[in-house]
Chains A and B, each alone.
Chain A
Amino acid sequence: MKRILIVDDAATVRLYHRQILEAAGYKVYEAVNGIEALEKSLQQPFDLYVVDINMPKLDGYGFLRELRSQDIYQAPAIMVSTEAQTSDHQQAFAAGANAYLVKPVKPEQLLIQVKLMIGEARG
């Protein structure tokens, strides 16, 4: 079963994403900020990250930059944020995101991206 880490400081958003992803048969883990996400990534590999931008302690950009700079398993990451500006997209990709979704994310939208990223889209 593919393992996905949701990184978001809002419990409601975590629950929302968890419900969508678990319904699609993924194993879901949660982290409330970048620091915690890094710690969890060091303990076990994930197949995908779903990352919020604005979080306390270490934000989404910081987390991805840190993650990409480390010599650990490099899973794809979907950035999820309320910001719709092009500059945010660019910053996200520069930090190492593989996709960018604008909140609120529709369930099918999220699942398509997740399947694309995990490489199940064709199957």
Chain B
Amino acid sequence: MTPLLEQFLSEARDFLEGIGEKLMQLEDAPGDAELMTALFRMVHTLKGNSGLFDFPEMTRVLHAGEDLMDAVRHEQVEYSQDLADRLLDAMDFVGMLCDEVEAKGSIGAHHAADSARLAESLRRLIASVDAAAAVVAVVASALPNALTETGIVVAEADLPPLVDIPESIRMDAYRQACGGVDLHWLDYTPAADCFFQGDDPFFQARGTPGFLWGSITVRQPWPALAELDAYRCVLEFHLLTTAPREQLDEYYRYVPDQVRMIPVTPLFLALPQGNRNGGPVAYENFVDKALGLLGANQLEDLVLAASNLIELSSLELWLSSALRWLLLVMELEPENRNAFAKIIESLRRQSPPKWTELLPKVTGGNPPAKTELHLSQHSLTPEEAEVMTKMLDVQREILNLPIQENWQLGRIKAVAATLTGCLMASGDVAARAGLEAATAMALEEAASLPLLAWLDQFQQTRSTASVESLVNQADVGVPVPRNLSEIQSDLSADAVRVSDVDAEAKFGRRAEDAGIGPKSLKVDQQKIDRLMNLIGEMVVSKNALPYLAGRAEDVFGVRDLSREIKAQYTVINRIAEEMQDAIMQVRMMPVSFVFQRFPRLVRDTSRKLGKEVNLVLVGEDTEADKNVIEALGDPLVHIVRNSLDHGFEQPDERRAVGKPVAGTLTIRASQESDRVVIEIQDDGKGIDPDIVKRKAYQKGIIDEATLERISDQDAINLIFAAGLSTVDVISDLSGRGVGMDVVRTAVEKVNGAISLESEIGKGTRIRLSLPLSMAVTHVMLIESAGQTFGIPMDSVLETVRVPCASISSIKQSLVTVLRGNIVPLKSINALLAIAAPPQANSDHELAVLVVRCGNEAVGLLVDDFRETVDIILKPMTGVLADIPVYAGSALMGDGSVLMVLNIKELLP
């Protein structure tokens, strides 16, 4: 990617964000002229920028948006919610194009139709005072139109004037069509001001691929010469081409709104023309004779009779033209009896054959290429398997793209179609049911997670299968299932916004630069990560100084030098710690980064549901590490959707119970010691523990005994259990409650916790608590079998020394009793497959590190405890990345490497 394109994408995203924000603000203050001007300028600049590149699809939409905003700004068009909706849609589209440009470097030609439609819908708003009605009409008509144009149904009135084409060319086209090429009739109506945009319509039309014939007409009668404006294009071009649709789309991608393409059924070209008067008298007899021959299946005689009649007639007669067509059709489509009959009939009436009557219900210029792969039990070759792995990976990438409200469903459908194709190709029919279920779920939730989950599972089974069948195919890549945090860190490779509040003071900005733009700079995340790594190494190497001081004193006996080294060490230590802190600060982002999508989400969703909901955001400037903030996004969206869908009652229901008609959804962020706390609170109907209990019992999540004694709070927490739905009718928004266990998992992946309180009739409150930063990990050092390991402090509950005597065994498992609770004991050596037994100290006590595993406490038998330290945890890379029991490694002060254990994976 060139620097210019990078700059464009980065600036474009800023603008899109700004445009969305300004539009939302305008909803509250529609009369704000300043806001309007700012909005106009953003759209204008963005359009100008896009013009520098070859992105006609993007520029077209932005141009329409700019014109619309210009009209609004000059009060020619009134600002309305509909208008905002259209503009937001258009900006979402542009955002999607930006994503595509970033991913592929260009925009696919297939977006041209969407682009034209969006631009058209924006322009209608300008053109029509009765804006709302017009927009509805455009959208309503867009779909059927698209159908006709992509070419299936052709009504008689819509038929292009094919008869304008000379017969010889039509016959040639007919021959080619029977040979398998697609025929298209093309109406190209260049914009009146096209000359000013550097277009050359004549050149464009002449250069049309597969050009067979063309004509030029004028749209309206020519005005008097004095009034003629030679700089306005009033011409229309009509063409017949043999190029396939995709090629035409590509060729006309800059002006799809000016082009109408109609697929031509070859037979429609068989239109006799010429002088209808005169000709041999014999022709009336010929019709009866010909029908008779046709009925008797004497086709050769029919050809002979027709040829004879042609020789008797002069060439320019209508009659002889019809006979020529009859012969040609008989030659090229010898099976098509109906067609012969039609032509013969037309001879009698001397009117063109009515081909539309012949048309089957569904037909078209390009017969749909049916890819019927009935290859059941077809095993894939290694090459095919590799291609399929690649395809699956691409689908995964698509599913992992950031959610774009309006395009999400389309994406899911596209991915589902591709996956179905893969299954058909590999003959894996059994897996289709699962895929269909996952697709349905994904579509209902408008989220990629169900499909991703299916894909994970499918790839796992596939990779095991392929390993079994292709033992010797070492080069077949076995897809490694990626966990959520890896995906997130991939995603977070985007630029990180660095807040630079104190820049003025620190960097002594020159006066001339003051007041320009926002005082922040965008830095590539990789650069920050590098800084983090460097400071980590510095912290480590500075720790060598005390060691050096010790040696100076003990080995070389220079106490003064030792003291000086120690003094210097304190200075370096302080600076290093401050630096570390400063870099952490750079990685901090305000939660508003995630919050900003909620006004739109709540607005759109509640409208769709017919509910009224006010959104209150509190504490948007609370900061947390970028990774944490990013991990928050999807769970929050899920929770908010759930709340809108299931939490809030319909307005009349609310009125009936005496609540304000409009519900209130509060999202509150705050910092509590070293954690960020996000609360999502609604004043809806709350969760009924009895319903949850009953459902959980029906689904077999709890047994009868639990059903009897479970507390209300515990019952509500069952919401987080997998596969529980409390809603009988599954809505198309948040789905079936599967969401909540996905939310819990996602939150726990980043060491977060989630809790829920609910009161019937009053509302529900969900509380997420996440660590402020994931960059520094506080670990406790333990020793076992002569090695040192680190264990993250957030899973450590306590350290105790237990006398060997108070350890007993139940069913071959060691346990001890701590303050009246039975705690299972596991030897860390055994878990790590180290042969040595746990070492007791001189008092015959064993060191037990009590850790939290899920909701249970488990004691780890270790040899000894050591201090706790702050480390910068580096995840395992390369071949080591597949060993899940290690969370990562860290460099220690003495230069040694510390392995940090992952408790969740370690304990079975």
- Residues of A contacting B672 in the complex (Cβ-Cβ under 8 angstroms): none
Contact across chains for B49 and A13 when beta carbons are under 8 A apart: yes
What is the minimal beta-carbon distance from B514 to any residue of chain A, in angstroms? 10
Q: Do A84 and B196 touch across chains, with their CB atoms under 8 A apart? A: yes
Chain B, 182-224, contact with A by CB distance < 8 Å: what is the 0/1 string?
Answer: 0000000000000011000000000000000000000000000
A96 and B11 CA atoms in complex are apart in Å by: 30
Closest CB of chain B to A90's CB: distance in Å?
15
* Known contacts A19-B4, A36-B516; is-contact A104 B11 (Cβ 8 Å): no
Contact with B7, one of A15, A54, A82, A103 (Cβ below 8 angstroms): A15
Contact code string B441-460 (vs A, CB < 8 Å = 1, else 0): 00000000000000000000
With a CB–CB cut-off of 8 A, which chain B residues contact A13?
45, 48-49, 52
Q: Which A residues are CB-close (under 8 A) to B51?
A: 82, 103-104
Residues of chain B within 8 A of A103, CB atoms compared: 48, 51-52
The answer on a CB contact under 8 Å between B512 and A104 is: no
A12 beta carbon closer than 8 Å to chain B: yes
**Among B11, B48, B52, which residue has the most Cβ atoms of chain A within 10 A?**
B48
Docked Cα-Cα span, A43 to B510, in Å, equals 13
- Are B197 and A12 within 8 A (Cβ)? no
Find A82's partner among B11, B12, B47, B512 (CB 8 Å cutoff). Answer: B47
Give Cα A33–Cα B12 distance, bound, in whole angstroms.
19
| B3 contacts partner chain A, Cβ-Cβ < 8 Å | yes
Knowing A84-B196, A104-B52, the reply to whether A12 touches B516 (Cβ < 8 A) is no
Contact A16 B52 (CB under 8 A): yes
Q: How many angstroms between the C-alpha atoms of A55 and B516 in the bound complex?
A: 12
Give the docked Cα–Cα distance between A77 and B547 (Å). Answer: 67
A40-B514 Cα distance, complex, nearest whole Å: 12
- Per the bound structure, the CA–CA distance linking A15 and B516 in Å amounts to 17
A11 within 8 A of B: yes
User: Are A12 and B517 touching (Cβ within 8 A)?
Assistant: no
Q: Are B11 and A11 in contact (CB under 8 A)?
A: yes
Report Cα–Cα, A9/B18, bound state, in Å: 15
Contact between A54 and B45, CB atoms less than 8 A apart: yes
> Which A residue sits closest to B46, measured CB to CB?
A10
> How far, in angstroms, from A103 to B50 measured CA to CA in the complex?
10
User: Is B44 interfacial (CB-CB < 8 Å)?
Assistant: yes
Which residues 1-35 in A have Cβ within 8 Å of B in the complex? Answer: 9-13, 15-16, 19, 32-33
Mark contacts of B611-638 with chain A using CB atoms, 8 A cut-off: 1 yes-contact digit, 0 otherwise: 0000000000000000000000000000
In the complex, B283 has a CB within 8 A of chain A: no
Measured between beta carbons, the chain B residues less than 8 angstroms from A45 are: none
Question: Does B569 belong to the interface (CB within 8 Å)?
Answer: no
A39 interface residue per 8 A CB criterion: yes
How many angstroms from the CA of A49 to the CA of B11 in the assembled complex? Answer: 23
> CB within 8 A of A12: which of B38, B41, B49, B512?
B49
Chain B 8-30, CB within 8 Å of chain A: the 1/0 string?
10011000000000000000000
Nearest chain B CB to A33 CB, angstrom units? 8
User: A36: which B residues are within 8 A, CB to CB?
Assistant: 512, 516
Bound complex: CA A55 to CA B517 (Å): 12
- Say yes or no: B52 contacts A54, CB within 8 Å: no
Complex contact B41–A9 (CB within 8 A): yes
A39 touches B512 (CB 8 A): yes
Return the chain A residue nearest B63 by Cβ. Answer: A82
Q: Count the B residues whose beta carbon is within 8 Å of the partner chain — how many?
A: 20
Q: Contacts A11-B11, A12-B49 known; A54 to B41 CB distance under 8 Å?
A: yes
Chain A residue nearest to B516 (CB atoms) is A32
A12-B44 contact, Cβ under 8 Å, with A32-B517, A43-B512 = no
The interface residues of chain A lying within 8 Å CB-to-CB of B11 are 10-12
Shortest beta-carbon distance from B197 to chain A in Å:
7
Number of A residues whose C-beta is below 8 Å from B? 21
B52 touches A12 (CB 8 A): yes
Q: Which residues of A lie under 8 Å from residue B45 when comparing CB positions? A: 9-10, 13, 54
Most buried by B among A15, A19, A36, A54: A15
Q: How far is the CB of A106 from chain B (nearest CB, A)?
A: 10
Interface 1/0 per residue, A54-77 and B, CB below 8 Å: 111000000000000000000000
Interface residues of B in 492-548 (CB under 8 A from A): 512, 516-517
A11 touching B512 by the CB < 8 A rule? Answer: no
Closest to B49 in A: A12
Cross-chain contact B48 with A10 (CB below 8 angstroms): yes
Minimum CB–CB distance from B35 to chain A (whole Å) comes to 13
In the complex, A113→B216 CA distance in Å?
37
Measured CA separation A16–B2 after assembly (Å): 11
Smallest Cβ-Cβ distance to B38: which chain A residue: A56
**Least CB distance, A31 to chain B, in whole angstroms:** 9
Query: Could you tell me the distance in whole angstroms from the C-beta of A84 to the nearest C-beta in chain B?
Result: 5
Q: Inside 8 A of A10's CB, which chain B residues have their CB?
A: 11, 45, 48-49
Contact with A along B40-64 (1 / 0, CB 8 A): 0100110111011000000000000
Partner of B4, one of A12, A55, A82: A12
Residues of A near B512 (CB, < 8 A) are 36, 39-40, 43
Q: Which residues of chain B are near A16, meaning CB under 8 Å?
A: 4, 52
Contact A12 B47 (CB under 8 A): no
- Most A Cβ at <10 Å: residue of B12, B38, B49: B49
With A9-B41, A54-B44: A84-B197 Cβ-Cβ less than 8 Å: yes
Question: How far is B12's CA from A16's CA once the two chains are assembled, in angstroms?
Answer: 15
Contact assessment for A82 and B44 in the assembled complex, using a CB-CB cutoff below 8 Å:
yes
How far is B564's CA from A68's CA once the two chains are assembled, in angstroms?
66
A-chain residues with CB within 8 Å of residue B7 when the two chains form the complex: 11-12, 15
Closest chain A CB from B438 CB (angstroms) = 41
Chain A residue numbers with a CB within 8 Å of B41 are 9, 54-56
The docked-state distance in angstroms from the alpha carbon of A10 to that of B8 is: 9
Cβ distance A105 to chain B, nearest Cβ, rounded Å: 9
* Nearest CB of chain A from residue B194's CB, rounded to whole Å: 11
B48:A15 contact, CB within 8 angstroms: no
For residue A80, which residue of chain B has the nearest CB?
A: B48
- Give complex CA distance A84, B52 in Å: 16
Q: In A89-108, which residues have CB < 8 Å from any B CB? A: 103-104
Q: Bound complex: CA of A84 vs CA of B196, how far in Å?
A: 7
**A40's closest neighbor in chain B, by CB?**
B512
Closest-CB distance, B170 to chain A (whole angstroms): 41
Give complex CA distance A37, B345 in Å: 80
Q: Name which of A9, A12, A33, A36 has the most chain B CB atoms within 10 A of its CB.
A: A12
Complex CA distance for A103 and B47, rounded to whole angstroms: 10
Complex Cα distance A104/B512, Å?
29
Separation of A93 and B44 alpha carbons in the complex (Å): 22
> How far, in whole Å, are A43 and B48 apart by their CA atoms in the complex?
30
Measured CB to CB, the nearest residue on chain A to B66 is A82
The smallest beta-carbon distance between A107 and chain B, in angstroms, is 11
Q: Does the CB pair A12–B196 fall under 8 Å?
A: no
Complex: A36 Cα to B509 Cα, angstroms? 14
By beta carbon, the residue of chain B nearest A59 is B41
A39 to B515, CA, bound (A): 13
| Closest B residue by C-beta to A17 | B52
B52, chain A: closest CB distance, angstroms:
5
Chain A proximity of B744: nearest CB distance (Å): 42
In the complex, A12 Cα to B8 Cα: how many Å? 5
CA distance A12 to B512 in the complex (A): 21
A15 to B49, CA, bound (A): 11
A residues in contact with B48, CB < 8 Å: 10, 13, 82, 103-104
User: CA separation between A12 and B51, bound complex, in Å?
Assistant: 11
Q: In whole Å, how far is B437's beta carbon from the nearest beta carbon of chain A?
A: 45
- Residues in chain A near residue B12, CB distance under 8 A: 12
Can you report 16 residue pairs joining A to B where beta carbons are below 8 Å apart?
A: A12-B8, A12-B49, A13-B48, A13-B49, A15-B4, A32-B516, A36-B512, A36-B516, A43-B512, A54-B44, A54-B45, A55-B41, A56-B38, A82-B51, A84-B197, A104-B52
Known contacts A10-B49, A103-B52; can you find 9 more A-B pairs with CB under 8 A? A10-B48, A13-B49, A36-B512, A40-B512, A43-B512, A56-B38, A82-B48, A103-B48, A104-B48
* Chain A residues proximal to chain B, CB less than 8 Å: 9-13, 15-16, 19, 32-33, 36, 39-40, 43, 54-56, 82, 84, 103-104
> Ordered nearest first, which 8 A-B pairs have the shortest CB separation?
A104-B51, A12-B49, A12-B8, A10-B45, A104-B52, A15-B7, A84-B196, A82-B48
